[in-house]
Amino acid sequence: MKVCEITGKVAMVGCNVSHSHIRTKRKFSPNLRTKRFWSEEENRWITLKVSAAGIKTINKKGLSAALRDAKAAKKVY
């Protein structure tokens, strides 16, 4: 399933709207990338499937803090 492991973003459903305003269903997929991150604490590479926003979050907070926040957010659901 296409889910960002940091932000939790999933695919959304919407409509294609033609010039004559005929609406057909379509799917908006998140901008996911499989990316490796180096973990200083564990001294190893960690491979994550993350969105572009998730990569920005990791760059801002750091890998360990972003993973900790993602785990805490999943417990809420």
- Chain centroid, CA 57 distance in Å: 10
* 4-54 residue pLDDT tens: 999 999 999 999 999 999 999 999 999 999 999 999 999 999 999 999 999
What is the per-residue pLDDT for 74? 78
* 61-74 residue pLDDT tens: 999 999 999 998 87
In whole angstroms, what is the distance from residue 71 CA to residue 73 CA?
5
Q: Do the beta carbons of residue 57 and residue 70 sit within 8 Å? A: no
Which CATH superfamily includes the segment(s) 12-76? Ribosomal protein L28/L24 (2.30.170.40)
What is the per-residue pLDDT for 76? 45
Q: How far is CA 53 from CA 12, 18, 24, 31, in A?
A: 16, 30, 28, 8
Please state whether 50 falls in left (phi above 0), alpha (psi between -120 and 50) or beta: beta
